[in-house]
Every structure is written in C-alpha cells, then in structure tokens.
Amino acid sequence: MAIAKLLPRQKFDLGQTMESWEVRRAEGKALRKLATLESHATYTPGKNRPDPLKLLAKSNIGRQPHLIPLRMGRMASSSFAFLRGSACVMASDLSRSPISGIPVILDGDAHINNFGMYGTPQREVVFDLNDFDEATVGPWEWDLKRMVASVNLAGRQNGLNRRERAAAVKRGVEGYRFNVNRLQKMGVLDVWYLHAYPGRDNPLVKVDPKSKAVFSKTMAKALSTDNHALLPKVADRRSNGEWTFRNDPPVLTTISKQTKAKVTEALNRYSMSIGLERRLMLGRYHIADIGHRVVGIGSVGTRAYLALLFGIGDDDPLFLQVKECVPAAHAPYLPQLQKDFRNDGLRVVIGQRALQASSDPMLGYTEIDGRPYLVRQMKNLKASVPVEFLTGASFNFYAWLCGAILARAHSRTGDPAHIAGYCGKSEALDDALAQWAEHYGDQMEEDHSSLLASIKRGETKADIQTDDGS
C-alpha cells in the first residue's frame, strides 16, 4: 500500500458521524488483503539497502562535531545500543516493508528503553512512553516493529536463546492486540482518560512476583527522583550565594556568556508556548545557571542545555531541559506533514501530548539561532525499568506491558477498531513478528559489527564510554 495514502486529507468536521466500531473493525480486517499478516514475517535487506554507516553519517550532519565520536562510541557498546541510536537506519528498512494503511501519530522510536515511569501533574507516578523526538504520522506497525526488534535484541543481550526471544516478542504483540481489541469498544474520551499506575493492582493481567518486585523498586526510585534530589548532584552553591553547575565533561559542561544569553532569551520565548496560567507560574522563577548536558544515545551531538532555576529560595529548584529537535527519522519516507507540524519542536510537543496519558505541564518549544528546541522538566519523578536484568517471566511481562501501552498510545489518535480488525484475535501476527524480529535482530548485529570494523579501521571516530548519560 502506498505510504502517500496514509495521511487523512479531509477537513475537520464535527458534523461527520463515525461508523460503528463493528463496521470499522471489518474495514481494518479487509486491509489484510493488501498486506497479509503473514507478510510481516519476512525481512530481506535487498541488494539496494542503503549502507547503514552512510545513513548514520548523514544523520550526524548539523550536530556538534566534537560530540559525534561520543555518539558512535555509545552505539558501539552493543547491538541493542546500536538499535537505540540508529532510528534513521530502521526507518529506511521499514519504508520497504508491508504497510497496513492505518495511520496514527507514531512515537517513531518505541524501543523498550523509551518506556518508563514519570510523574503526572497530580504527582502520581505512571508508566508510559517517554521519548518523542521521532514522533510523526505514519503506519502504526512501524512502532510495533521497532518495539519487538528491541525486545529481541535486549533478549540477546540478557542471554535469552532464540526460543525465549520469540516467546518474549509474541508476548509483546499479544499485549498490543489485547489492548486494541479492548479499546475498540471504549468511548473516545474514556481512552484518553486511561493511565497505567504501576503502584496499583492491575485487573487486566496477572503479574508475577519478580515483576512486582522490579516495578516496586523502580517506582521507589521514581518517587525520589526530583528537582531537590538532582540539585546537589550537579550544582554547587558558592560563598556569595550563587548556584553554578559542576563541570563534568562530557556529560555536563559550562557554556559561554553569549550562549547563556541566547538560551535565556529562548526560554523567555518558550513561555509563550505554554498556557497563560503556567506562564504566570514560570514567571516566579529566575535562572541561576545554564550548562550543556549530553543525554541518550541517538540524541548525542544535538544541542541540549540544562537550566537551573529557583523560585522562592534555595529549597525551590526547577531544572528545565532545552533540547534541540532535528527532523524525524521517518520523515524522508512519509508525506510531508501539514504546515503546523513542520517546526520540529512543535512536532515533538504535539507527539508527546497526543501519545502520553499525562504530559509534563512545563512542556513547550522555542528556537535558538533558527534551530527548533523542546523544553521540558529534566527530573519529573522519572525512572526506567532495568531491562538489562530482566529474564523469564519478568522480561515477558515487560514486553507485554510495553505492547499494551503502545496500543493505548496509538488508540488516542488512530482508530483502535481499524487496528484491531487488521491484527485479529489469532496469534498469526504474533508469530509473524517473532520471525521478523529474529531476522531483524540478525541485521542489527551485522550492522553493529560493521560499525565496530569501521572504528577499528579508523574510518569512524568513536569515544567509547560505559555510561550513556541518559
């Protein structure tokens, strides 16, 4: 199916009546004639597959040159890390795969390390998608395939054999299918109200004791991860009472007065992108210091600043991340978005607000030197599940949960009845994507080996680090 047919072109019309969920489910099922469930099992790179190292080199254009070796070094640490940092490579591969024809707002980078815990405006901890740099409009299955590929590669890294990896992937797809089948009958607003609270009992799925223990520990960490906890880790109070960031290269480094002035002015402009009531709140803070902070794997080399602000005193800190937004990895393979989405900072903000059940109240966007930036809280009761330590039932449950959360995210902007009809109630899609993920995992290991060989030959400069700084 042509990708160009994905984007809806009709004007907004509240007078238009929606068909029943049964009719829409049948429409989704009919799309299998154009792209069968079994067709998703196949991955063949083809002779014309672009060189992944050339795609990565292209994605490095415009980044800060002195940080590119750090990006490549972090990607070199494992095949899973390579997958995390190479969304542009997978986007190219997915553009040659079967297309269901059902559009949603994509996360674009829905690997399992981009799910995690964070705080709602009501200060409750929820589990959800938590990275939206690649958000755009496209086929829902591209997100699901990136998720199951990450399940496969994380499984390899955790010592799972092929049968165990397949079981975990199937659980992930099962979670996705389960939730779209559940949500297709639910009211639109009811879907938007749904949250996943890790501290509460879940009547939808039985949770094994080890998974409960892992989530309890992660939640405890999230509850202790806030502005007050971060302050003594990254900043010092001088004898004159001023607070400054502690230089900790390459993760946190000082910037010039000129750059600080630019970021400060950008934050002033950012205030116009949040609601008036939040602008009044922000106006009670003042900036104490600004530094450059490297985060993640795929984002390394983009410009990212950390601003320390204080409200009524030293006991009222606020950290804001000001992060450069580059074009989405899938953008070259999809129709151009409407004009309102072409600012990449706004694109990421809209993607986050659309896909997350609750978004950061400080979320907004701005520009510096003509480059778009995202602004958000740096520490907001955030914590990640330690995927690298999961095996067996706990790994399979985590895959299921990520699949279910991804389905809910897609159902907020897409049509869960169309998706549910296409996916069906059998295990056909589970089996197909388990095969696909194994083949694609092999491809990522091959691409990772190519990167290591290039580094060894001296063709690719890499700064090998053990901490990804995320």
Is 190 within a domain? yes
**How many residues belong to the chain?**
470
Contact of 91 with 333, CB cutoff 8 Å = yes
Question: Of the candidates 352, 377, 402, which is a domain's last residue?
Answer: 377
Dump strand ranges (E) for 209-263.
Answer: 235-237, 243-245, 252-254
Task: State how far the Cα of 180 lies from the Cα of 196, in Å rounded to an integer.
Answer: 15
pLDDT of residue 230: 95
Please measure the distance between the N-terminal and C-terminal CA atoms of the chain and give it in whole angstroms. Answer: 37
Residue 303's pLDDT is what?
97
Q: Which of 301, 325, 333, 296 is nearest to 89 (CA)?
A: 333
Is 138 contained in some domain?
Answer: yes
Do 258 and 354 sit in the same domain of this protein? yes
* Per-residue pLDDT, 46: 85
Spatial distance between the Cα atoms of 158 and 388, rounded to a whole number of angstroms: 6
Give the span between the Cα atoms of 71 and 166, in whole angstroms.
Answer: 30
Q: How far apart are CA 43 and CA 46, in angstroms?
A: 9
For 365: left if phi > 0, alpha if psi spans -120 to 50, otherwise beta; the answer is: beta
Report the 10 Å Cβ neighbour count for 8: 8
Instruction: Kindly state whether residues 414 and 322 are assigned to the same domain.
Output: no
pLDDT at 342: 73
Shared domain check, 129 and 250: no
Q: What is the dihedral of CA 378, 380, 381, 387, to 10 degrees?
A: -50
In a domain, 78, yes or no: yes
Report if residue 226 sits inside a domain.
no
Residues 107 and 177 in one domain: yes
Give the containing element (helix H, strand E) for 374: strand 371-377
76 touches 464 (CB < 8 A) = yes
For residues 92 and 3, the answer to whether their CB atoms sit within 8 Å is no
Q: What is the pLDDT of residue 251?
A: 95
Question: Could you tell me how far CA 439 lies from the centroid of its own chain?
Answer: 23
Helix H or strand E segment including 377: strand 371-377
Torsion, Cα of 59, 386, 199, 414 (10° steps): 30
Give the pLDDT confidence score for residue 2 in this predicted structure.
Answer: 44
Domain-ending residue, one of 377, 406, 437: 377
pTM across the whole model: 0.95
Q: Is 135 part of any domain?
A: yes
CA 353 to chain centre: 13
Q: Note the pLDDT of residue 4.
A: 45
* 317 and 199 in a common domain: no
Could you tell me if 283 and 397 lie in one domain?
A: no
Do 191 and 320 lie in one domain? The reply is no
Position 338 scores a pLDDT of: 77
Q: 245-269 burial, b if ≥16 CB within 10 A, otherwise e?
A: beeeebbbeebeeebbebbeebbee
Query: Which residues fall within 8 angstroms of residue 453, CB to CB, at 6 or more apart?
Result: none
**pLDDT value for 205:** 77
User: Quick check: is 350 in a domain?
Assistant: yes
Angle at 188 between CA 425 and CA 18, to 5 degrees: 85
C-alpha to C-alpha distance for 190 and 94, rounded to whole angstroms: 32
Closest CA to 329 of 59, 83, 43, 99: 59
In a domain, 357, yes or no: yes
Domain count, the chain: 2
Q: Where are the beta strands (DSSP E) in 267-370?
A: 286-293, 304-310, 317-324, 364-368
Tell me the C-alpha distance between 400 and 204, whole Å.
Answer: 11
- DSSP per residue, 105-170: EE-S---GGGEEEEE-TTS-EEEEE---TT-EEEEHHHHHHHHHHHHHHHHHHTT--HHHHHHHHH
CA dihedral of residues 410, 214, 134, 78 (deg, nearest 10): -130
Question: 225 phi and psi, to 5 degrees?
Answer: -105, 95
Domain end (from 344, 377, 410): 377
State the residue range of the domain holding 258: 232-377
Give the model's pLDDT for residue 470. Answer: 37
pLDDT score for 467? 45
User: Do 203 and 58 share a structural domain?
Assistant: yes
Which tokens is 322 given?
């000001």
> Block means of pLDDT (10 residues each) for the chain, length 470 residues?
48 82 96 96 93 98 97 97 98 96 95 95 92 95 98 97 98 98 96 89 80 92 93 95 95 97 98 95 97 94 97 96 97 85 90 94 96 94 93 96 98 96 97 98 98 97 64
Structure-token match 């059940």, residue found? 357
